[in-house]
Chains A and B, each alone.
Chain A
Amino acid sequence: MRQWLLVRLGRAVVAAWGIASLVFLVSRVLPVSPEQLALIEMEDLSRQIGPATSNEVAASQQAVRQRLGLAAPLFYATRTTGPAGEWHWHGLHNQYHEWLSQVVRGNLGKSYLDGQPVTALLGQALAYSVPLAAGAASLATTLALALALYLARGSGSAGRTLVQASLATLQVVPLFLLALILLLLLANPAVINLMPLASHGPAPNLLVAAGRWAVRAALPLLSLVLAVLPALTLPLVASLRQESSTPYATTARAKGLPLGRVLRRHLLPNALLPLFTTLTDLLPTLVAGTVVVEVVFALPGSGRLLAEAAAAHDYPVVVAGVLLLAGVRLLSLIAADILYFLADPRLRPAT
């Protein structure tokens, strides 16, 4: 079992490395590379200062390349451009190797925009996003369990039909539309304003700070929870309904146990197992959701950092965001496996 877990984690690490490398390489070979963007900027600046000789321009361009770490060749072997392209072997002195060895050491580079270390930027932003995503995850899971138990108790009543239909509708609504609808309906001074203007200044104590955070985070939390709720609830309901037609469920009912107790104590543990697989995708989906939600509600979290970096071609931050997401997926794989072991003793590793 442990070996199986290791193999799974190994695969996830390889996939994370693959996707981060893909994004890194694509970002460096695009038609307008970051280097050229910076060079255009430089040209504008130098034009304002005054006419410069071509030597000076070339020297300043070389300096920009050096500063952004773009002077070295891109990959271990590159091909010269032109019809008679030839391959050159550069050894370990190349951008990709430099980037990879820095990433392994935990250094994600510096932002192109303001030269700040990406780890510091991400750290500040994650302080906003981690509570948001974690809160949404726990809230959504709790709500999904409660809703699934409610829906599985029977079918056909008006309330259940309504809940099921709205869950099915929510399933196709993209998060950005959902968040926008909530923003326009519930944070609009003309309709209902649940999101008062953020009160600035230092909070007198921890309780007030937490209260302010809760007020600001209510709508983002709600949109994240609503976005992932159908994917969590509907499979669980189907699984519960399937379990309730098994002989052991009939036995439990025949013993005279009330339906709620049968559902909670007898059927739920067996129906839960498929939910854990969904949970693997839950955290990455939520962290990806913060990209949209933080842009809509103007929260200074990691999602907005990523979206703004992508809009401003700030590649080191974008690549770091990709690595972060891949890391979150790795964590949730581990969490799902641990949950499997806890829920089903048959799967526990023999010790």
Chain B
Amino acid sequence: MNLVRRPRSLAVAHWLAIGWLGLVLATGLLAPWLPLPYPAATPDLLHIAAPPTPPHYFGTDALGRDVLAGLVAGARRLVVLSLPAVGLATVVGMAAGSAAGFWGNSRLRIPVALVAWLLAAGYWLAALPARTGITGCLLLIGAASSFFAWWRTRTTGPGTGPTLAVPLDSLILGTTAVLGAIPRLILLVALAAGPPLSPTQLLGLLTLVAWPETARLVRAHMLRVRVQPFIEAAQASGLPEWRVWLRHALPHACQPLYAFVPLSLAGLVGLENALAFLGIGQAPDSVSWGSLLTTIRQDPTAWWVATMPGLALLCTLLALQQVAEILKRPLILK
């Protein structure tokens, strides 16, 4: 049973925002089945930079590409690229940030034996130099500490084997610091400077750029949640640590994410379209709102090329902001 609910009444702006996002989502999902007369990337060389007239209802750009088809392709890109990227970044950031906040630098202790076994396996699989010798040494350490742990368990009771603290907090904070050393757009431009990226690579790149912010937010919140009495109660009841983390602490630490994810998506859509606008790392046949907008520079009189994609992008970003506002409103007790 839900004890809390969000306030029901929504302003007109909120309904408009939800409606627009629904339209974009539906267009993006149904794009392959929409009866479009022209494919997005194929130029119609008879109508170059044509104003909106019947064969091309929204006109064509300076390369002869249909603007309407480009709009649909942009919506498709948003659904298959930005949305999964935000999902992935949220999951990665949530896991990394909450683990860093929950265990800190010293509370996650894993048995030395396990470390040694894992290192040995990793070393062997990576085929690093002097494979046999070093893997053998690691195996010996693993065997020795396993035996030691077994012996201690027999003599003094369970859970007293030698353990090693994992500096989880420092590792994750260090990674976010390195990724945050330059603004996100520059990082994206620098890493996409190579040959045209495949959709999977672009997805990975957007995720890489987006996760640190989520991780920092969740970590900060987790630091406050971790010292609450109910976490102590869960630990005192003898639940394993990972279960306390996953089932008790994580749902509370993720509260600020409801309002943050739409804003994060808005940021990523803006970044991705900026990259397309600059024409960096784009496959020649990829069309998005940003790449349509960039053709206005070749023919500044073709206002229809910029108006529609620009409006679509603007409406999407503003709608996402409105949705974030809806989700940010305080919960009301029933």
Contact = CB atoms under 8 A, between A and B. Distances in A.
Interface string A278-318: 00000011011001100110000000001101110101001
Interface residues of B, number: 46
A277 interface: no
Contacts of A31: 194-195
A75 interface: no
How extensive is the interface on chain A, given as a class? 35 or more
A31 B185 CA distance: 22
Contacts of B263: 172
Interface string B170-181: 000000011111
Given A177-B270, A318-B189, 6 more contacts: A11-B177, A172-B320, A174-B313, A292-B185, A310-B278, A322-B182
Interface in A53-87: 77, 79, 85-87
Given A19-B179, A190-B301, A321-B186, A173 B314 contact: yes
27 contacts: A15-B178, A15-B180, A19-B187, A26-B194, A27-B194, A32-B194, A85-B127, A86-B127, A89-B129, A169-B318, A172-B266, A172-B270, A172-B320, A176-B274, A176-B290, A177-B270, A180-B310, A284-B182, A288-B183, A288-B185, A288-B186, A291-B278, A292-B274, A306-B189, A311-B279, A315-B193, A329-B181
A328 B293 CA distance: 30
Given A174-B271, A180-B310, A329-B182, A27 B193 contact: yes
Per CB-CB distance, the 8 closest pairs between chain A and chain B, nearest first, are A174-B270, A288-B183, A310-B193, A15-B181, A18-B178, A30-B194, A32-B195, A325-B182
Contacts of A296: 297
B321 A168 contact: yes
A181 interface: yes
Mostly, the B contact residues are helix
Given A180-B306, A184-B296, A319-B190, A12 B274 contact: no
Contact of B192 (A12, A171, A310): A310
Contacts of B321: 168-169, 171-172
A188 interface: yes
Contacts of B279: 311
A237 interface: no
Contacts of A180: 293, 296, 306, 310
Interface of B: 127-129, 177-183, 185-187, 189-195, 263, 266, 270-271, 273-274, 277-281, 290, 293, 296-297, 300-301, 303, 306, 310, 313-314, 317-318, 320-321
Mostly, the A contact residues are helix
Contact of B193 (A12, A16, A174, A309): A309
A169 B320 CA distance: 11
Contacts of B192: 310
A140 to B, nearest CB: 16
Contacts of B177: 11, 15
B5 to A, nearest CB: 26
